[in-house]
């Protein structure tokens, strides 16, 4: 079997069980094809484990086993999926929610792909050509473990992110799913996204419980309006900003689906920074401002990254928050730790406001994570109350 030897400076993380081999870890490597199994060893020849080759961002492949394995087949994936299914028993039995993460990559045992459940319609998302090499075995395991209506796949490693029907019969989209007793439109075939970010389910539930004086919320980077629909159940009027014109249609559909008055909602197609400047000029304020930008974006000549520019959003939004109101600050940037994100928030707000961090939230339980790959805990959501 082909082999990779890791640098001495990197060996400690692997002896502690780290799951992803990255380019900077490698001291010496045989030529390895995508999907091929290979061993990873320390310089002294000690075995770290068996990995599969799958190029994903800076990653070269995920650990398959601590032991030496010559092959993996459907039985390997059946074991993973049976454990994943058992961990989600409460969600399968829930009367409030029928959309959730069924299998969460490295958090459920092997990285490189995920499976989402939308009221029985399953979506596999592949993140490398390497894991796609095992598609036949993975499909066989899915059929053995899960009941489903239809099965689709998205190829995230392809820049066009194509969606393919895998099962014999497909669905007529959009479909309607239920989450926390609210309903949302889903289309598994509409580009890279599906209509709802399932990892924010607990945050949306928290917003359903919010109660502030004026009951108005600004939702930046609103997408399909999930946060706004959630807070709207508690009588809030919402202002929704997204740079994509398509988002307005998605939001209107979701508000209508939940029998909420469209005339009490405002929809704006605009860059988030431009929107904040507009509201400042017109002296518009809000009880809640939700900021949930993509980790990276480019619009015209402007580039945005969470690490370099998120603090600018906080600075511009702060004067628009009513006293007693909240900034809800969210990021899915895996290269920014919770410690770094919190430090950025506190550095930005110090000397500018009397504030308190009232709650910090992360991924829901179905998005299982592992300490053996800290980037799996990518979601950070911080509720900041502005007292004055």
List the chain residues with pLDDT less than 70: none
**Residue 155, Cβ neighbours under 10 Å: how many?**
18
pLDDT value, residue 298: 84
Domain residue spans of the chain: 3-65, 74-178, 197-386
**Residue 192, Cβ neighbours under 10 Å: how many?**
12
**Residue 303, Cβ neighbours under 10 Å: how many?**
11
Q: Bridge-partner residues for 182, per DSSP?
A: 179
User: In this structure, are strands 182-186 and 175-179 parallel, antiparallel, or unpaired?
Assistant: antiparallel
Query: For residue 340, what are its two tokens?
Result: 């770094």
d(CA 376, CA 64): 17
Candidates 2.30.130.10, 3.30.230.10, 3.90.930.12, 3.40.50.720; CATH matching 3-65: 2.30.130.10
pLDDT value, residue 152: 98
pLDDT value, residue 301: 77
d(CA 349, CA 371): 30
Helical axes 135-145 vs 74-87, angle rounded to 10°:
40
Instruction: At 172, give phi and psi (nearest 5°).
Output: -100, 110
User: In this structure, are strands 216-220 and 296-299 parallel, antiparallel, or unpaired?
Assistant: unpaired
User: In this structure, are strands 37-41 and 47-56 parallel, antiparallel, or unpaired?
Assistant: antiparallel
Q: For the structural domain made of 197-386, what CATH number should be given?
A: 3.40.50.150
Q: Is pTM beyond 0.85 here?
A: yes
d(CA 272, CA 39): 47
Summarised one tens digit per residue, pLDDT across range 323-344 is 999 999 999 999 999 999 999 9
Are 3-65 and 74-178 in the same CATH fold? Answer: no
pLDDT value, residue 300: 76
d(CA 297, CA 364): 25
Determine the straight-line distance between the first and last CA of the chain, rounded to whole angstroms.
64
Summarised one tens digit per residue, pLDDT across range 80-124 is 999 999 999 999 999 999 999 999 999 999 999 999 999 999 999
Contact 115, 124 (CB under 8 A): yes
pLDDT value, residue 164: 98
Closest CA to 64 of 21, 123, 127, 119: 21
Residues near 21 by Cβ (< 8 Å), separated by ≥ 6?
Answer: 4, 6, 40, 51, 59, 60, 61, 62, 63
Q: Give the DSSP per-residue string, 279-318.
A: HHHTT--EEEEEE---SEEEETTEEEEHHHHHHHHHHHHG
- The secondary structure element, H or E, covering residue 352 is none
Helical axes 338-349 vs 306-317, angle rounded to 10°:
40
**Residue 135, Cβ neighbours under 10 Å: how many?**
15
DSSP reduced 3-state for 357: strand
d(CA 47, CA 155): 32
Q: Does CATH number 3.40.50.970 belong to domain 74-178?
A: no
Contact 156, 191 (CB under 8 A): no
């Amino acid at each position: 079997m082909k082999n990779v030897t890791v640098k001495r400076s990197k060996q400690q993380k692997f002896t502690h069980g780290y799951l992803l081999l990255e380019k900077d870890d490698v001291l010496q490597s045989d030529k390895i094809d995508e999907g091929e199994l290979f061993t990873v060893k320390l310089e002294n020849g000690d075995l770290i484990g068996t990995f599969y080759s799958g190029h994903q961002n800076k990653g070269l492949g995920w650990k398959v086993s601590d032991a030496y394995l010559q092959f993996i087949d459907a039985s390997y994936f059946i074991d993973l999926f049976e454990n994943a299914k058992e961990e989600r028993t409460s969600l399968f039995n829930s009367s409030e929610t029928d959309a959730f993460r069924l299998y969460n990559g490295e958090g459920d045992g092997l990285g490189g792909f995920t499976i989402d459940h939308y009221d029985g319609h399953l979506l596999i998302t592949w993140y490398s050509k390497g894991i796609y090499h095992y598609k036949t075995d993975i499909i066989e395991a899915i059929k053995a473990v899960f009941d489903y209506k239809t099965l689709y796949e998205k190829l995230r490693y392809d820049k066009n992110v194509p969606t393919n029907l895998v099962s014999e019969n497909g669905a007529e989209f959009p479909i309607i799913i239920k989450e926390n007793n609210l309903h949302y439109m889903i289309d598994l075939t509409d580009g890279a996204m599906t209509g709802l970010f399932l990892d924010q389910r607990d945050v949306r539930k928290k917003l359903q419980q919010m109660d502030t004086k004026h009951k108005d919320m600004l939702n930046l980077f609103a997408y399909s309006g999930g946060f706004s629909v959630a807070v709207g159940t508690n009588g809030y009027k919402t202002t929704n900003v997204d740079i994509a014109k398509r988002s307005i249609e998605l939001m209107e559909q979701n508000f209508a689906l939940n029998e909420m008055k469209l005339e009490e909602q405002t929809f704006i197609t605009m860059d988030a920074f431009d929107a904040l400047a507009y509201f400042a000029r017109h002296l518009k304020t809000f009880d809640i401002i939700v900021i949930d930008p993509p980790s990276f974006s480019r619009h015209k000549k402007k580039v945005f990254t969470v690490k370099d520019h998120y603090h600018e959003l906080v600075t511009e939004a702060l004067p628009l928050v009513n006293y007693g109101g909240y900034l809800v600050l969210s990021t899915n940037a895996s290269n920014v730790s919770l410690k770094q994100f919190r430090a950025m928030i506190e550095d930005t707000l110090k000397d500018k406001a009397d504030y308190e961090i009232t709650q910090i939230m992360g991924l829901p339980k179905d998005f299982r994570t592992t300490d053996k790959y800290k980037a799996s805990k990518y979601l950070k959501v911080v509720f900041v109350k502005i007292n004055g």
